[in-house]
């Protein structure tokens, strides 16, 4: 999935204002301006859209974790330079303080059934034999499930 699309979907799901988005980036260790946030949220067909790089998305997701769970003791985590779908899913799980059952229930909301073993394979280290890469379709359905849970069934 495209980083800009992920950012747009999360913003819509939780109804974040521009000010809230800027604050989340700041909590994650990135100073973002209103115009940067605005350009990241523009659609692909808009010539003013700027590509959101992995480090910027990681800062936003880290800020979401800090907002929902509080800052951890000691040094705050630095945004990763590169992200994959498994890491994005993990950060969303942490930010929302979800357990496996919560995630399965969210996926059930969008008729995307998954078992606990399949889900746990997404959170394993990539060197383990049971590891499974998180595909775009899975991440898209999970974010859509969050949207249905937080905004209602008809939310598009």
N-to-C CA span, the chain: 17
Helix axes 34-41, 18-27, angle to 10 degrees: 110
State pLDDT tens for residues 25-64: 999 999 999 999 999 999 999 999 999 999 999 999 999 9
Nearest Cα to Cα of residue 138 among 93, 80, 82: 93
Q: Are 122 and 134 in contact (CB under 8 A)?
A: yes
State pLDDT tens for residues 62-114: 999 999 998 888 777 889 999 999 999 999 999 999 999 999 999 999 999 99
Q: DSSP assignment, residue 152?
A: -
In which band, very low, low, confident or very high, does the pLDDT at 156 lie, cut at 50, 70 and 90? low
155 has a pLDDT exceeding 60? no
**CB atoms inside a 10 Å sphere around CB 10:** 22
pLDDT of residue 71: 83
């Amino acid at each position: 999935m495209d980083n800009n699309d992920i950012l747009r979907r999360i913003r819509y799901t939780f109804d974040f204002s521009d000010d809230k988005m800027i604050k989340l980036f700041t909590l994650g260790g990135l100073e973002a301006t209103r115009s940067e946030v605005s350009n990241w949220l523009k659609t692909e067909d808009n010539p003013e859209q700027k590509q959101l790089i992995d480090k910027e998305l990681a800062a936003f997701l880290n800020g979401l974790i800090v907002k929902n769970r509080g800052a951890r003791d000691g040094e705050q985590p630095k945004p990763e330079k590169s992200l994959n779908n498994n890491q994005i899913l993990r950060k969303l799980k942490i930010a929302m303080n979800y357990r496996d059952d919560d995630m399965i229930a969210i996926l059930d909301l969008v008729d995307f059934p998954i078992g606990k073993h399949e889900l746990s394979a997404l959170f394993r280290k990539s060197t383990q034999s049971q590891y499974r890469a998180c595909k775009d379709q899975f991440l898209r359905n999970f974010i859509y499930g969050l949207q249905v849970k937080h905004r209602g069934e008809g939310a598009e």
